[in-house]
Each structure stands twice: as C-alpha cells, then as structure tokens.
Structure 1
C-alpha cells in the first residue's frame, strides 16, 4: 500500500459539479493499493499516518505534533495510478489491485483510521469515480509512505 500524504490548509473533492467532501487544515492522502496488499499493509499505513509529526506544536516546536494531537481532519482519495508503471510511454496498472478487491480493502483502511482516531474527522471521495481533487498544500509538505511488505511489483519495462 502506498500513501502520498500532503499537509494542507484546505482540500476538497468533487465529482462533476458536486462537492463530495472538504476539509480545513489537516492531511490530504492519496491511497494506492497494490494487488498483493493485505490487512497488515493498511494497518501499517494507518498507524504511520496517525503518528506522523507534521504539524507545529502549540509551544512553537517545529514538527512537534501529529494529526491526532492537533485534532485535524483527513481527506483520503483512492488512486490506483500510484501503482502504475510505464511501458514505453503508456502507463500500465497491472500492479494495482482490481477495483472489486481494492474497494473493500480501502473501506477497511478508512475504518481503521476512524477506529484509531475519530471517524467524524475522516472524509473521502467516491471510490472509482472520476474526481477533481483541490489541494491547498501547506508548506508545501508532501511525504511518500509505502508499507514495508516486499511485493513482486514490476518496474518500467524497456522494449
């Protein structure tokens, strides 16, 4: 499982002209699910996200608090393209888990975040939809995180 974590002052997701969800200050997280991901992968990613010290503490200490300590919101967006590889100039997504399997794992991931934090502060987009994600990055601060499980992920092929 892979997460692109962005500290934001605000973020929102729309489908067509409809606003699906929005948050103020917090984290916007793009989530990619590999075809071999399991419960252990989403538990690891959720634990790391909730523990990341990406916010200044109230005493002014840089990188002193995590999302839980600051009681901020999280906007999660499923994004299968995070496991894309290039075949010449065309992306190939065979490393991403199929939509029917990944939707269940993604929902379990969201539940895991809510269980270990506050479910009312966890928002998401529409799984599988064509979405527009509006991010106002704060810093900018962007962290890439991947579960440590070794996958048989195929990299770019040269032909």
Structure 2
C-alpha cells in the first residue's frame, strides 16, 4: 500500500461537477493498493497517517503536532496510479496496481478503520473520474509505503 500525504489548509474533491468531500486544515491522502495488501498494511498506514507529526504550533512551523492533535480533517482519494511502473516505454504500466474489485474492498476497509480514529474523514468516490483541489501548506508532501 502506498499513500501520498499532503499537508493542506484546505482540500476538496469534485465528481460530475458536485463536491463529494472537503476539509479545511488537515491532510489529503492519495491511496494506492497493490495485489498483496492486507489488514496489516491498512493498520500500518492508518497509524502513520494519524500520528505523523507534520504540523506546527502557533509560534512556528516545526513538525510538532499530528493531524489528530490539531483536530484536522483527512480527505482520502483512491489513486491506482501510485503503483505505475515507468521504467520501459512512454506509457505507464499498472501491473503492480491491484485489480479494481480487490482494491475497492481494501479501500473500503481502510475508510472504515480510519473512521474509528474519530477525525473528520472525507473521501472521493472509488473508481470515479475526480477533480482534486488542494492548497498544499508548506508545501509538505510525503510518500509512505507499507511494502
């Protein structure tokens, strides 16, 4: 499992000209699923996301607080392209991305479990063509992998 994590002052996702999820201060997480992902990967990624200390306090922008500590939101978007292989040719290969049915099952379990953290959780729509709007704060963008 891979997660591209962005610290944001706001983020939203639009499907068919309708906003389906939005947050203010918090994290936008693009989540990619591979064939071998399991509950263990879900737990690892969730634990890291909610406890990563990448927010500052009132005085400075040092990495001192987690999204949980600032009572921020998390916007989660499914993103199979995180597993793109671009070593050969000019078109990315997605052989390392999980098949849609399995990926959706893992994605839904991920959403279900992260909601247990009692944070504002917003999502896109799995498999939909989406427009994601973010205001990246910092910018801070991190890549996390359970592989």
TM interval, short-chain normalised: over 0.9
Q: Which moved more, 1:5-14 or 1:78-87?
A: 78-87
- In the aligned structure 2, how far is the partner of 1:61 from the partner of 1:130? 34
Q: Tell me the residue number matched to 1:131.
A: 130
Larger radius of gyration between Structure 1 and Structure 2:
1
Q: Unpaired runs of 5+ in structure 2?
A: none
Q: Unpaired runs of 5+ in structure 1?
A: 150-159
Question: 1:10-159 residue pairs with structure 2 within 5 A?
Answer: 10-58=10-58, 60=60, 62-86=62-86, 87-115=88-116, 117-118=117-118, 121-147=120-146, 149=147
- In the aligned structure 2, how far is the partner of 1:64 from the partner of 1:90? 40
- In the aligned structure 2, how far is the partner of 1:97 from the partner of 1:26? 27
Aligned-pair Cα RMSD in Å: 1.3
CA deviations 1:12-34 (Å, max 9, x no partner) are: 00012111111101000000001
Secondary structure class of the residue paired with 1:92 = coil
- In the aligned structure 1, how far is the partner of 2:9 from the partner of 2:138? 9
Secondary structure class of the residue paired with 2:69 = helix
Secondary structure class of the residue paired with 1:85 = coil
Corresponding pairs, count: 146
Displacement of 1:106 in angstroms is 0.5
- In the aligned structure 2, how far is the partner of 1:106 from the partner of 1:2? 12
